[in-house]
Structure formats: structure tokens, C-alpha cells
Amino acid sequence: MTEPSFWQMQEGELAWWAAFLARPESLARLFAIYGYRYLPFFFEEFGHLGTVVDFGSGPVSAAFIGEPAPEHPYCVDPLMPEYFKAHLIYGEPIMNWPPDISPAIFDTALVLNVLDHCDDPPALLAQVARVLRPGGKALVWVHVDILPDALHRTVSEAEVWSWLVGAGLTVKRARAHYDIYGPRAYMAVAERPA
């Protein structure tokens, strides 16, 4: 199968979110999925998020599982206008698309389940590095080594590592994760050097 175009992936994302959030108890289920996926590796970071930008946030930012949860995570997603039209937004995030973010203002950038869906992963990670304060952390979680489908492109661990380093970020820790609910994932905590 050929890799889907960016907008084909985005159409699939919008349909997925609309169907998922229409289910009973969808937010509780979503926060349980976020907790299962992200907290085992990023537990310490989710306890100290500080100011947060969530790239590819969807209509419900994973920042809301932080303890304490930020009041207004800054969400960047190309589908924000569509999420608003469909009344899918949760909480009171600050949203902007296309991103027009000042440099060096965030403590944490969430890049969770995004790199296998985006058009230009290296450019996205360059934007992440630009908006992090010195010492700020990027939390990255991505499906790796999967066949392309309507929502995903193929990404490898080596590519993610090289994209992070190419963006000027220092990888502090990383590992692969075998998810019983889906394909293998790669997780990394990367820091903008001081």
C-alpha cells in the first residue's frame, strides 16, 4: 500500500475522533487510554508539565492527565477548525492553526502519536525545538515499523532519533514499547539544550 497523503490522514483522524467521542463515557475511556499509553514512561514529566504546547493534540489534549493538569494547554492541530465545527473540543485549550508561536516559551511539548500522521516530521520537530525554553522537554510517542494505512505513515526508531537530534534536541531517554492494544511504539524524552 502507498503512503497516504497528509490530508487523507487528516480526514481519517477527524472521522476517528467523531466516532470515538460519540460513544458513552468517551472522555473517561480516552483518559484511561492516555494514562495507559503515556504515564508508564512519562510519569515524572506529567507530574511537572509547566507551560504546555500539544502538537497534534486532537480535540482533547493529553495534557489534561497531568497532575496538576494545566488549565489552558496550547493546542496545535491542523484540524482545529473542523473540531470546533463538529463540537468535539474538550476543556479550554488555547488553539492556533497555523501555528504562530513565539520562540522559547514552553516548558513541555507533547508530540504524542503525531509523527506517523504528519506531513513533515523533521519540520514539526524543528518547530518543537524552537518553542521550547532552554531545558524544556519534548515528550515523543510514535507508532513505529507499521505498514502505511489511511491514518499512518511508516516511521522507524532510527528516523525518530535522527529527527530529534537534527532538530537540535538532546535525547535523554528512549525505548520501544509493545502495546497490547496496537502496534509497537517508540517513546523519547528529548531536551532543548540550555
Q: Looking at the 3D structure of the chain, how many domains does it have?
A: 1
pLDDT for position 58? 87
CA dihedral 7, 13, 19, 24 (to 10 degrees): -160
Residue-averaged pLDDT of the chain: 86
Read off the pLDDT of residues 92-141 as tens digits, 9 standing for 90 and up: 667 665 567 888 999 999 999 899 888 899 999 999 999 999 999 999 99
Q: Is the dihedral of CA 127, 131, 133, 136 positive or negative?
A: negative
User: Distances from the Cα of 110 to the Cαs of 1, 4, 62, 180, in angstroms?
Assistant: 29, 24, 8, 22
pLDDT for position 189? 97
Cα(157)–Cα(160) distance, integer angstroms? 5
Percent of the chain with pLDDT over 70: 88
**DSSP 8-state secondary structure symbol assigned to residue 150:** S
Residue 1 lies in a domain: no
Residue 148 lies in a domain: yes
In CATH, what number is assigned to the domain containing residue 154? 3.40.50.150
Looking at per-residue pLDDT, the higher value among 192 and 80 belongs to 192
pLDDT for position 133? 97
Cα(71)–Cα(34) distance, integer angstroms? 18
User: Domain containing 27: what range?
Assistant: 6-59+70-191
pTM: 0.89
Residue 36 lies in a domain: yes
Neighbours of 188 (CB within 10 A): 23
Residue 41 lies in a domain: yes
Residue 65 lies in a domain: no
Residue 64 lies in a domain: no
Nearest to 135 by CA among 190, 188, 189, 194: 194
- 3-state DSSP: the chain helix, strand, coil percent, rounded to 5? 35, 20, 45
pLDDT for position 119? 82
Task: Indicate the pLDDT class of residue 181, thresholds 50, 70 and 90.
Answer: low
User: What is the average per-residue pLDDT within 60-75?
Assistant: 88
Residue 139 lies in a domain: yes
**DSSP 8-state secondary structure symbol assigned to residue 62:** G
Q: Is pLDDT above 90 for 77?
A: no
Report residue 6 as a C-alpha cell.
497528509
Lowest pLDDT segment from 36-45, 66-75, 101-110, 150-159: 150-159
Residue 40 lies in a domain: yes
